[in-house]
Copies of this chain bind each other. A is one copy, B any other.
Amino acid sequence: MATIQHPYLLFLGDAPDQLAAKTANGVKVWRPEWCIGQFRLPGCKADLGLPDVSIEEAAAQGAKTVILGVANRGGFIPESWIVELVKALGLGMDIASGLHTKITAIPSLKDAAERNGRKLFDVRHPSRDYPVASGKPRPGKRLLTVGTDVSVGKMFTTLAIEKEMRARGLNADFRATGQTGIFIAGEGASIDAVIADFISGCVETLAPANSEDHWDLIEGQGSLYNVSYSGVTLGLIHGAQADALVMCHEIGRPHMRGLPDYPVPEIPTAMDTILHMAKMVNEDVKFVGVSLNTSNVSADEAAAFKAKTAEQTGLPVVDPLKDGVAPIVDRLLAG
């Protein structure tokens, strides 16, 4: 995929609530310096706290790409959005969409993009073919976030580690494997939309050979224990050839997301399984930390859970939102 150019205009359309703009919010949180403003239509119920700007104002302020980081209703893109998007293309902006609906399949957008020499990105859909994974060892260091389940903070943790490492002057790049991450990185691939045979090959492409002092920080997806998506996760683990793993977990989740019959595994149990599979591609891989989402429990419960996990694993245990990830980076660098 070509790189998505910033600065961005975050297009919220007529989002029915704040949650519908979750992706755009992630971009604003992690790349505020890339975000010129938000564009809202009448009836929009989401607000990212950014300046409201029109398409024309965004263009005048130098926006390079309109980010469709919002859920659309009923799986189609309303005409009221199309009018504005065509205007943006005419004013020299590209459009990058995180919708399931492909903007590249909408004739009026495709025509306007061609007419104006602009690009359309459908980041949920792979725009290229990937090779079969070679499994060959490659230089450079790689960290992968893994989890007991989906949606436990893997992207957040990976980005926090990038921020911490860069603040220390280290050579580190976040590698995006999902739509929000792609907007934040400006590039990447939605690994869950790749053809099954090429999952690991896609990861080898996203995190290729690099200099020995460079860290690729690869955004994990799914879980070996979430049996709806476990194939994606194993492909990620085997393509990543990680040197370091960070375990992510949400305290208090009653069962695996979307799988009421499946209990969430204990952290040490899941770590054993993941390490066993990860060692197939790198015998020296190890865990360097545990990242907890503690938002569902009291401060006391969180503290007790952290202490127990630290004792069970011998690793730094943090809530990245509240504690930061410095102890994990310390452990990573301790080697």
Q: Which A residues form the contact surface with B (CB < 8 A)?
A: 132-137, 191-197, 199-201, 224-225, 227-236, 238-239, 256, 258-259, 261-262, 273, 276-277, 280-281
Query: Which residues of B have CB within 8 Å of A224?
Result: 234, 277, 280
Q: Which chain B residue has the least Cβ–Cβ distance from A203?
A: B231
Pick the residue among B192, B234, B259, B280 that contacts A234 (CB under 8 A).
B234
How close is A283's CB to chain B, nearest CB, in angstroms? 11
Q: 14 extra interchain contacts, Cβ-Cβ under 8 A, other than A200-B228, A200-B231?
A: A135-B256, A135-B262, A137-B261, A193-B197, A196-B231, A197-B228, A224-B234, A227-B239, A231-B232, A231-B234, A231-B235, A233-B234, A273-B277, A276-B276
A195, B197: Cβ atoms closer than 8 Å: no
Query: Which residues of B have CB within 8 Å of A276?
Result: 273, 276
Copies in the complex: 2
Pick the residue among B199, B259, B281 that contacts A231 (CB under 8 A).
B199
Q: Which chain B residue has the least Cβ–Cβ distance from A228?
A: B133
Pick 9 A–B contacts, CB within 8 A, sort by A: A132-B258, A193-B197, A196-B196, A197-B232, A227-B238, A230-B280, A231-B234, A231-B235, A233-B234
Query: Which residues of B have CB within 8 Å of A258?
Result: 132
A227, B280: Cβ atoms closer than 8 Å: yes
Query: Which residues of B have CB within 8 Å of A191?
Result: 196
A232, B196: Cβ atoms closer than 8 Å: yes
Cα distance, A231 to B238, chains bound together (Å): 8
Cα distance, A277 to B237, chains bound together (Å): 15
Query: Which residues of B have CB within 8 Å of A137?
Result: 261
Query: Which residues of B have CB within 8 Å of A196?
Result: 191-196, 199, 231-232, 235
Cα distance, A172 to B259, chains bound together (Å): 29
Query: Which residues of B have CB within 8 Å of A201?
Result: 228
Query: Which residues of B have CB within 8 Å of A225?
Result: 280
Query: Which residues of B have CB within 8 Å of A195?
Result: 192-196
B228, A234: Cβ atoms closer than 8 Å: no
How close is A279's CB to chain B, nearest CB, in angstroms? 11
How close is A17's CB to chain B, nearest CB, in angstroms? 24
Q: Which chain B residue has the least Cβ–Cβ distance from A192?
A: B197
How close is A127's CB to chain B, nearest CB, in angstroms? 15
B133, A227: Cβ atoms closer than 8 Å: yes
Query: Which residues of B have CB within 8 Å of A197?
Result: 192-193, 228-229, 232
B238, A200: Cβ atoms closer than 8 Å: no
Cα distance, A200 to B224, chains bound together (Å): 12
Cα distance, A201 to B193, chains bound together (Å): 14
Query: Which residues of B have CB within 8 Å of A230?
Result: 200, 234-235, 238, 277, 280
How close is A101's CB to chain B, nearest CB, in angstroms? 14
A228, B194: Cβ atoms closer than 8 Å: no
Query: Which residues of B have CB within 8 Å of A277?
Result: 224, 230, 273
* Residue with the highest number of chain B CB atoms closer than 10 Å, among A132, A191, A230, A256: A230
